[in-house]
Amino acid sequence: MRWWAAMPDFILTFTREGESLYTQATGQPRLEISPSSNSTFTITQVNASIEFHRNADDRVDSLTLNQGGEQHATRLDIEAWEPTTAELAGFTGRYYSDEIETFYNLTLEQDQLTLHQRRMDDAELSPGEADTFSGGGFTFSFERDRNEQVIGFYLSNVRTRGVRFARQ
């Protein structure tokens, strides 16, 4: 289940593993959630809660994230993008940003796209929308040329948006 909030590029994704429930916001780590009522969940690792809202047809179509204020979100009825290992390999390589004068390296490790940068810990990247990944506190929106080859990406986080990295 995926939900879009009013903030740019902010999607909440909900998943289940066995009996555990999780939520993950764009560019953030996955966090476990626990039910506190039939429509409210507590995010155990941070001081936050999520309340789901039903419409007149008794369908859950919106939610409110309570974390330092209220953030409203609506349900996205689109399937998550699940790239194959071959598709993930198309994103690997060395990328450089003229703006912040640094390199990022993306590798494929055990079917997982991984970010490497010498001043940061390695981070596994999770797919979002097509050609978009999140991980390490960042969102990566990849750019393709007219031949559908990956030529770069735009990097965003909570403090900055759209820093361009060109494939080397």
**How many angstroms separate the CA atoms of 138 and 123, rounded?**
10
**Burial label, 146 (beta-carbon count in 10 A; 0-12, 13-18, 19+):** exposed
Looking at the structure, tell me whether residues 113 and 62 fall in a common domain.
no
Looking at the structure, tell me whether residues 61 and 34 fall in a common domain.
yes
Q: What is the pLDDT of residue 77?
A: 67
pLDDT, tens only, 77-107: 666 678 999 999 999 999 999 999 999 999 9
DSSP for residue 87: H
Looking at the structure, tell me whether residues 146 and 109 fall in a common domain.
yes
Predicted TM-score of the model (pTM): 0.63
Looking at the structure, tell me whether residues 27 and 92 fall in a common domain.
no
Last residue of a domain, one of 45, 76, 107: 76
Q: What is the pLDDT of residue 9?
A: 58
Looking at the structure, tell me whether residues 137 and 162 fall in a common domain.
yes
Looking at the structure, tell me whether residues 20 and 70 fall in a common domain.
yes
Looking at the structure, tell me whether residues 127 and 101 fall in a common domain.
yes
- Can you give the residue range of the structural domain that contains 162? 85-167
**How many angstroms separate the CA atoms of 109 and 149, rounded?**
21
Looking at the structure, tell me whether residues 71 and 126 fall in a common domain.
no
**How many angstroms separate the CA atoms of 57 and 105, rounded?**
48
Q: How many domains does the chain have?
A: 2
Looking at the structure, tell me whether residues 69 and 110 fall in a common domain.
no
Tell me, what CATH number does 142's domain have?
2.40.128.50
Last residue of a domain, one of 54, 76, 98: 76
Looking at the structure, tell me whether residues 40 and 107 fall in a common domain.
no
Residue 81 C-alpha from the chain's centroid: 11
Q: What is the DSSP string of 12-65?
A: EEEEEETTEEEEEETTS--EEEEESSSSEEEETTTTEEEEEEE-TTS-EEEEEE
Looking at the structure, tell me whether residues 23 and 62 fall in a common domain.
yes
To which H or E segment does residue 116 belong? strand 112-116
Looking at the structure, tell me whether residues 13 and 67 fall in a common domain.
yes
Strands 93-97 and 70-76: what pairing?
unpaired
pLDDT, tens only, 109-132: 999 999 999 999 999 998 877 898
pLDDT, tens only, 25-44: 776 778 899 999 999 999 97
